[in-house]
Amino acid sequence: MKGGQSLAGMLVFISDVHGLGLDKAQGLIFTETYYWDLNDGTRAFAKRFAAANNGKYPTMVQAGVYSGDPALPQGGRGGQDRRRHEEIAKMKELPTDDPLFGKGRVRMDGRKITPRIWWR
C-alpha cells in the first residue's frame, strides 16, 4: 500500500484477515458473500458460532453450509434416504428465508439462489 499498489484477493476469508493482522491487511480489496455484522440474523449466528469456536467468527463458507443445510437452521429431521429425498423435493417447491442470506429459493438443480446484497 505504501508503494501505491493495491492488492485484490479473489478468495479471502475473515480468518485470513485475522491471520495477516489488520496492519498487513489494511487496504486489501476482496469480495465476500457473507458479513457477520450485516443484520440481527447474521450477528446472532456469528455470536453462537463464535461461542462454540473459541471466539472465531464464521467465514462465508461456514455460513453457507449452515444456511444451505435445511436440517441445521430449521431443525429438519434428516434420516432415511427416502424421507430425505421427499424433503429435498419439498424444499424446491417452497421459498426460503434464512437469517444469514435472506429470502430466496432452491432451483430444480439444487442451487440455492438469494438476492444480491450490495455493501459499500
Task: Give the rounded percent of residues in the chain with a pLDDT score beyond 70.
Answer: 82
Average pLDDT, the chain: 79
Predicted pLDDT of residue 81: 61
- pLDDT of 29-73, one tens digit each? 888 888 888 889 899 999 999 999 999 999 988 988 887 665 554
DSSP 3-state of 95: strand
Cα–Cα dist 94/60, whole Å: 24
Residue where the block lists cell 471466539: 55
- Count Cβ neighbours within 10 Å for each residue of 49-88 and write b for 16 or more, e otherwise: beeeeeeebbbbebbbebbbebeebeeeeeeeeeeeeeee
Domain ranges of the chain: 1-31, 37-113
With 0.75 as the threshold, say if the pTM is over it. no
Q: Which residue has the higher pLDDT, 52 or 2?
A: 52
Per-residue confidence at 75, pLDDT binned at 50, 70, 90?
very low
